């Protein structure tokens, strides 16, 4: 579970040489809404006075804010709808999207489950089957829960015996969920619903009687994800099945630390509860409770503290008796596995099970087949999957993969089989199965997905390493048709994220496919600093006072593509979401000359005030906070809202920019986008700016998680239409 700001991955490709239609729009002139400027709002940051004339846009419920949103949509919608190839784009996206998507099957109790989407269903459907080759039956279909697909499954856990299913539902893309409990055999829900749940870990006691989960107290006003109130005072609770939530007991709380979030997991053996508080987006403390001493779980659990300082990540993997295995980056920026004896947990007694690899990042580990560990490494941004010996950590075998990503895995310590899901730029999905009862442990293809009308042989994906401003070598994937002419004439879509230790690994994307096939584009994904592609060092090199490196790496990616004649500035679109929205917005302020268009999705754009809303305070670990004068000075240098420059001539004109947000985004609240677009439109009034600067504000949608397919296709159609119009691209049928 992460409360962090992450990108919605958009996404890939085909071809043909048919008649092309020119889609160059008439040069529209824009009458941007005149947003009221309140020059009286001035904050004093450590002696520096900063105006915030659009403070009023921070109130999502005021009529004035609603009117502003309406006025913005009123100029954006006609621009997007005027795209002469809108229906071509939409039809092609819809056609390519319509292929079946599957998750790995997983066994719970004596049944198998898997998620499937037939192609265009708004939400994935959970199926059950009695055996791997048995007839699948629908177990839970979220599509039946709302007319428009805006209710989504968000988190779920089966009991150990597979008899009960706890599942979270979120509405309109909000982070808030309600937890429901289902009797697996009958398919009937228990009467109780658990409310006020957000950023929740869920873990069942191994006697199958109750659920540990984290929740927030009642808050005043709305709690539907359209509010901006800070999330505080999370508690870890225990819910006994088939009782009302009002009878739940608080088992762990830290009343003096209102901003902590409390993760918890019952160990594989059922004896211990591992408790891991976190205050931002890295580093956690570690405690445990011995449940065997408190089988009734009737109140606060006595905790033994293992880790006392926020200085590293610790993630429970499994345990053998009192010896628990954790994945950590303590003294190991690329992560290692350690053993902690809970009977003797002092740090000097910890042992290393799998040492840190000098270059590959140990991304996750999972115990399987009783005595083995599956280890997922990230090696130069590509997945490596291995089987190791659980008792001594030694490598047993590699599970060979092509260049790409493991995007799904299922397997448990007590089960003798695993499944893993592979994906890449040109591979929509292959699910492999390893049966450990058979030797050798050969992976077999369990299921392979095909996309109608997509011929991977016409495309190529490669990885290059380019030099950033300070000489750092940065990896970048470049995907395009094989016959791409390197004459600078191709439209390019550069997608980046650069934060929060997150890896942007290869994935399959129908939207990028349309861009490559029909707009003759090249897609580039630079794995810039701030991400976790090379472990904690890569992350540290792009956070706090090093954040400018992230932007420099991104600009250098564009310069590399120009230099190598893939494209030219006026044909470059940059795109990013969330922390990636910050990236794109900072880059258009810093180098407007380098890009033709920019897509800023659900971005963090007011760097002086982000920590004041919902879960924003958790991002201080990546950004720092304006409450600290050193960080204030640093944030002020790149904060997109505070670095807008009216263009003095055509060269410094902003790229055509589309800012996207939605009314139920309670991760990165919409006020960031609203204040930014108001300031941007104000700054260019009467200037040399000709290219459009627009905002698209969606309704009944959030940060991206759980978005129904219909809304995703609409949004991607609009993004491709915006790029097509703004860059005067031709749609090749």
Ligand X SMILES: *[C@@H]1O[C@H](CO)[C@@H](O)[C@H](O)[C@H]1NC(C)=O
Interface ranges with ligand X (CB under 6 A): 24, 26-27, 63, 371-372, 389, 391-392, 396, 628, 630-631, 690
**Distance of alpha carbon 567 from alpha carbon 569, whole angstroms:** 7
Q: For the purposes of burial, counting CB atoms within 10 Å of the CB of 540, is it exposed (0-12), middle (13-18) or buried (19 or more)?
A: middle
Chain Cα centroid distance, residue 126: 22
Residues 14 and 517 sit within 8 Å (Cβ to Cβ) = yes
Closest C-alpha to 185, from 103, 110, 253:
110
The pair of structure tokens assigned to 632 is: 């204030």
Tell me which of 639, 703, 716, 718 is the catalytic residue. Answer: 703
The values of phi and psi at residue 526, to 5°, are -80, 130
Cβ 388 to ligand X shortest distance, Å: 9
Nearer residue to ligand X within complex by CB, 51 or 55: 55
Cβ 627 to ligand X shortest distance, Å: 8
Cβ 222 to ligand X shortest distance, Å: 16
Nearer residue to ligand X within complex by CB, 237 or 337: 337
Nearer residue to ligand X within complex by CB, 73 or 628: 628
Cis peptide before 440 (omega within 30 of 0): yes
Cβ 10 to ligand X shortest distance, Å: 28
Q: What does the CA dihedral 66, 72, 76, 78 come to, rounded to 10 degrees? A: 80
**Active-site annotation holds for 46:** no
Cβ 387 to ligand X shortest distance, Å: 8
Nearer residue to ligand X within complex by CB, 126 or 353: 353
Cβ 426 to ligand X shortest distance, Å: 35
Cβ 474 to ligand X shortest distance, Å: 25
Residues 599 and 584 sit within 8 Å (Cβ to Cβ) = yes
Nearer residue to ligand X within complex by CB, 65 or 427: 65
Residues 664 and 701 sit within 8 Å (Cβ to Cβ) = yes
CA distances 668 to 491, 604, 611, Å, are 30, 6, 10
Long-range contacts of 449-454 (CB under 8 A, 24+ apart): 449/99, 449/100, 449/101, 449/102, 450/99, 451/96, 451/99, 451/510, 452/95, 452/96, 452/98, 452/99, 453/14, 453/95, 453/96, 454/13, 454/14, 454/96, 454/428, 454/513
Nearer residue to ligand X within complex by CB, 66 or 77: 66
Tell me which of 665, 666, 698, 718 is the catalytic residue. Answer: 665
Chain Cα centroid distance, residue 257: 26
Residues 308 and 297 sit within 8 Å (Cβ to Cβ) = no
Nearer residue to ligand X within complex by CB, 385 or 504: 385
Residues 432 and 105 sit within 8 Å (Cβ to Cβ) = no
Cβ 690 to ligand X shortest distance, Å: 5
**Distance of alpha carbon 520 from alpha carbon 485, whole angstroms:** 10
Q: What is the CA radius of gyration of the chain?
A: 25
Tell me which of 383, 410, 578, 621 is the catalytic residue. Answer: 578
Cβ 82 to ligand X shortest distance, Å: 13
CA distances 230 to 216, 219, 530, 621, Å, are 11, 10, 25, 17
Cβ 433 to ligand X shortest distance, Å: 19
* E-assigned strand segments in 267-350: 272-278, 286-290, 304-307, 314-320, 323-328, 336-341
Nearer residue to ligand X within complex by CB, 373 or 514: 373
Burial 632-646 (b: 16+ CB within 10 A, else e): bebbbebbbbbbbeb
Q: End-to-end CA distance of the chain, in Å?
A: 42
Nearer residue to ligand X within complex by CB, 315 or 653: 653
Q: What is the DSSP letter of 302?
A: P
HSE-CB of 379 using CA atoms within 13 angstroms: 13
**Active-site annotation holds for 703:** yes
Residues 72 and 717 sit within 8 Å (Cβ to Cβ) = no
Nearer residue to ligand X within complex by CB, 194 or 656: 656
Residues marked active site are found at 578, 665, 703
């Amino acid at each position: 579970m992460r409360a962090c700001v992450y990108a919605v991955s958009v996404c890939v490709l085909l071809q043909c040489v048919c008649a092309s239609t020119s889609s160059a729009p008439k040069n529209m002139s824009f009458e941007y809404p005149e947003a009221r400027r309140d020059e009286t709002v001035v904050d004093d940051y450590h002696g520096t006075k900063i105006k915030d004339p659009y403070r009023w846009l921070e109130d999502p419920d005021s009529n004035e804010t609603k009117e502003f949103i309406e006025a913005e949509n009123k100029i954006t919608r006609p621009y997007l709808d005027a795209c002469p190839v809108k229906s071509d784009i939409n039809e092609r996206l819809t056609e390519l999207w319509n292929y079946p998507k599957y998750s790995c099957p997983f066994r719970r109790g004596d049944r198998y489950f898997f998620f499937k989407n037939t192609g265009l269903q708004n939400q994935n459907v959970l199926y059950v089957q009695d055996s791997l080759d048995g007839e699948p039956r629908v177990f839970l279909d979220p599509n039946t829960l709302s007319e428009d697909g805006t209710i989504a499954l968000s988190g779920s856990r089966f009991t150990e015996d597979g008899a009960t299913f706890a599942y979270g539902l979120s509405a309109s893309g909000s982070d808030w969920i309600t937890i429901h409990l289902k009797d697996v055999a009958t398919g009937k829900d228990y009467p109780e619903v658990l409310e006020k749940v957000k950023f929740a870990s869920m873990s069942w006691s191994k006697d199958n009687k109750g659920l540990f989960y984290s929740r927030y107290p009642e808050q005043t006003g709305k709690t539907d994800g359209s509010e901006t109130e800070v999330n505080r005072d999370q508690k870890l609770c225990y819910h006994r099945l088939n009782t009302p939530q009002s009878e739940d007991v608080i088992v762990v709380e830290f009343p003096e630390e209102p901003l902590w979030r409390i993760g918890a997991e019952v160990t594989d053996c059922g004896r211990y509860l591992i408790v891991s508080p976190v205050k931002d987006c890295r580093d956690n403390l570690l405690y445990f409770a011995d449940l065997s001493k408190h089988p009734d779980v009737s109140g606060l659990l006595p905790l033994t503290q293992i880790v006392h300082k926020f200085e590293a990540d610790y993630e429970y993997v499994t345990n053998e008796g009192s010896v628990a295995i954790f994945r950590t980056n303590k003294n190991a920026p690329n992560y290692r596995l350690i053993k902690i004896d809970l009977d003797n947990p002092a740090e000097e007694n910890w042992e290393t099970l799998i040492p840190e690899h000098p270059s590959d990042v140990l991304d996750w580990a999972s115990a399987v087949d009783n005595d083995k560990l599956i280890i997922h490494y990230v090696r130069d941004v590509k997945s490596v999957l291995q089987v190791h010996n659980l008792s001594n950590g030694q490598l047993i075998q590699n599970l060979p993969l092509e260049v790409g990503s493991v995007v799904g895995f299922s397997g448990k310590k007590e089960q003798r089989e695993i499944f893993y899901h592979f994906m890449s730029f040109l591979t929509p999905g292959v699910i492999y199965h390893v049966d450990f009862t058979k030797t050798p442990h050969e992976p077999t293809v369990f299921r392979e997905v095909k996309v109608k009308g997509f011929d991977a042989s016409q495309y190529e994906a490669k990885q290059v390493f380019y030099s950033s401003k300070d000489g750092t070598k940065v990896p970048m994937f470049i995907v395009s048709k094989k016959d791409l002419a390197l004459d600078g004439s191709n439209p390019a879509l550069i997608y980046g994220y650069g934060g929060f230790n997150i890896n942007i690994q290869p994935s399959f994307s129908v939207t990028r496919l349309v861009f490559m096939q029909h707009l003759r584009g090249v897609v580039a994904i630079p794995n810039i600093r701030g991400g976790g592609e090379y472990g904690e060092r890569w992350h540290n090199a792009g956070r706090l006072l090093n954040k400018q490196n992230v932007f420099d790496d991104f600009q250098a990616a564009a310069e590399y593509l120009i230099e190598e004649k893939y494209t030219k500035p006026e044909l470059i679109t940059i795109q990013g979401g969330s922390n990636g929205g910050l990236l794109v917005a900072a880059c258009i302020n810093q180098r407007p000359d380098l890009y033709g268009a920019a897509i800023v999705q659900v971005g963090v754009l007011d760097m002086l005030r982000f920590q004041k809303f919902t879960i924003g305070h958790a991002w201080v670990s990546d950004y720092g906070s304006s409450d600290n004068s050193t960080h204030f000075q640093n944030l002020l240098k790149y904060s997109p809202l505070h670095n807008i420059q009216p263009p003095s001539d055509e060269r410094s004109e902003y790229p055509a920019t589309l800012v996207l947000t939605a009314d139920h985004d309670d991760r990165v609240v919409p006020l960031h986008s609203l204040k930014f677009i108001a300031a941007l439109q104000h700054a260019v009034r009467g200037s040399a700016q000709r290219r459009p600067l627009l905002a698209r504000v969606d309704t009944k949608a959030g940060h991206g998680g759980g978005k129904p397919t219909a809304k995703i296709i609409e949004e991607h159609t609009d993004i491709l239409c915006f790029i097509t119009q703004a860059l005067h691209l031709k749609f090749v049928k």
